[in-house]
Structure 1
Amino acid sequence: MLSEKSTAVVRATLPAIGAAIGDITPVFYRRMFAAHPELLRDLFNRGNQANGTQSRALAGSIAVFATMLLEHPDRRPDAMLARIAHKHAALGITADQYTIVHRHLFDAIAEVLGEAVTPEVAEAWDEVYWLMAGALIAMEARLYAASGLGDGDVWRPWKVVGRTEETAEVATFVLRPADGGPVPPFRPGQYVSVQVALPDGARQIRQYSLSCAPDGDDRRISVKRVGGDPAGEVSNRLHENVREGDVLTVGAPFGDVALDDGDDPVLLASAGIGCTPMVSMLAHLAATGSPRRTTVVHGDRTESSHAFREQTEQLTAKLPDAALHVWYERPEGEWPAERTGLVDLSGVEIPEGVRAYLCGPVPFMRSVRTQLLERGVPASRIHYESFGPDLGLDVG
């Protein structure tokens, strides 16, 4: 809980800080990477730094946390904090790194706002920062402990024992521990981090959903080749250079959006490569013979770009009470031919008490979430996985 003195200061300065946060975060990253170039080289996603999404995500999380402290002092934005904590644990973040962030963030605030940052203002926002950082550090410590890991000790060598080209843009890599150790358990919908050595000496990290059921001795990730400018340096490196027999550095599984163990009806909604965690959930439901009513919804550009199309159809058919609905923006064939364009749930039955899981581009998830809310599904029962920095699906 924020102290009474700091509450008054934060309330008075939040509009100014909020208005300037878009200027503060680039300065923060510039200062931090100048002092610690290894963080940009080996930890932070250089693509997200280049396009600004990481800065916007940081700004949004700080604003949400400060606003919650003011409007609901007895509550915390636990959903947001859990999402961040899982991302941090997957990267092996440790408590000492919060001190580095603090120093350069507050130097950036002082640089941008100048004399407006009085000692009183700095002290109040320092309290906000450490309340948020303390909550995250505690969450991350619990995640490491629950996984049987030391803080930040998430990395192991995994051997590629198989590779499959799912589509022209998506390749699946089958992984097995290279050290002969046990395969860590995971919950359907979770992801792992993969650290890849690049030609310039950087070891960039990306996170990929596990696209298999959580049993067996192997794990599977499915990687979409990212084009554009800049092109995805890690995804393209994996596609072009990694073959059976190679060894990858892979982290322990994490992720706060995982299939629950209840018996409520389930909606699995995805678009594009967002199908990967949904395939894992669907495979688990099929493997366990789940009687849960299951609705599978997917949107894609074309039939040929739809990864796991046949597997999704087969897994859905194995369930006693399941339905599959697919939309193609540009249909190529006859499977299935009844839906063209973007995903529209108006003709899909949404069972009462459904728990929905969404994954795909942000516009898709925002559209589906809005449709579900309009159909009476409570926001608390709609879960989403965001590939990359979380830009705040729940707002706006």
Structure 2
Amino acid sequence: MSELATLPTATPSARSGSSITFDNVSKSYGEGLHAVEHVDFKVEAGEFFSLLGPSGCGKTTTLRMVAGFERPSAGRVLLGDEDITTTKPARRPVNLVFQDYALFPHMTVGDNVAFGLKVKGLARREVSERVTDALTSMRLTALADRRPAQLSGGQRQRVALARALVNRPKALLLDEPLGALDLKLRREMQLELGRLHRSTGTTFLYVTHDQEEALTLSDRIAVMNQGRIDQLADPRSLYERPSSVFVAGFIGTSNLLVLQQPQRVGEYHVSVLGDGDRLVAPTSVHQGQLQVTVRPERIYLHPTEDAAVAEHHSTVRGVVAEIVYVGSTTHVTVDLPTGEHLEVHELSNDSDLKAITRGSKVRLSWGPDCTHVIGPVAAP
């Protein structure tokens, strides 16, 4: 078992993190190049908060404005109650962990971890005690005399974390720190980061483009798109109730459909497609054509077209176009008569999968609460 798993969880009174506030922050580079526009949110003290989005969306620029390596063109950045917008990087009680770790190659692991404390002029005894504690918590004690070139990627990652946390920062800033690791090691380090966060109570501000990583680690996530925040919510809300087509498509796999001329039937919107096919969604405040989404794992695949379906469930017929086995689940793409297609994720041991092949005519169905209404269809 990881030694991190045995560390105590920080109590509210023991939490050392500070809140981070972005007060209407923008960052521009020259005329017309807006990296970040009117970002306005607060990271709570002790929270694991992620900035998620594609390359070039502004998430790293946002992080660097907390570290002090970028200065906002407008707005303020606060750490706790202190305005740090113009504070020099060295005077900010935060630490930044990079993807490439930025370790000193000529120093041992112990010296790398101790470097920041020595620069601050701490007493030798305190430096030794804090370094020993950091190496123990990160399972690096046996590696203290090695140099970075003698370490694996995961070990170098832990050295970078130890070097950052030994300074007891008010916030730890992490810029895609797991991006250079292979899939298995990345997942192991995700678990360690989660345990480390719970044990220290430090505020974590985390940048990633990996949706699964953000969902796994975060208390809340801000999804960024073209310099702005599209949605800020907890992982479950982002996944199950996306507020935009961009968020629905970026967070996991989502099927986007349009309810044409929906009728109100009791507590549901119903769009009749003909021949028994229909799309059903919970009622909303929106009117007219509605953009809706349904997740692939919420759809049930019936191996025949004439399968019976519950009255208020969405149901559509289609033809199987692709069947992709991915281990525990199988992904099935079904072409609809409308020219659209739906992706369905079924457990690979489902007996109904054995009855279908490419070209099979099938029926799909899902419950009304599995359909999420994003909003009116956007004008072209």
Q: Identify, as 1 or 2, the structure richer in helix.
A: 1
Q: Identify, as 1 or 2, the structure richer in strand.
A: 2
TM range (shorter): under 0.3
Q: TM-score, normalized by length of structure 1?
A: 0.22
Q: TM-score, normalized by length of structure 2?
A: 0.22
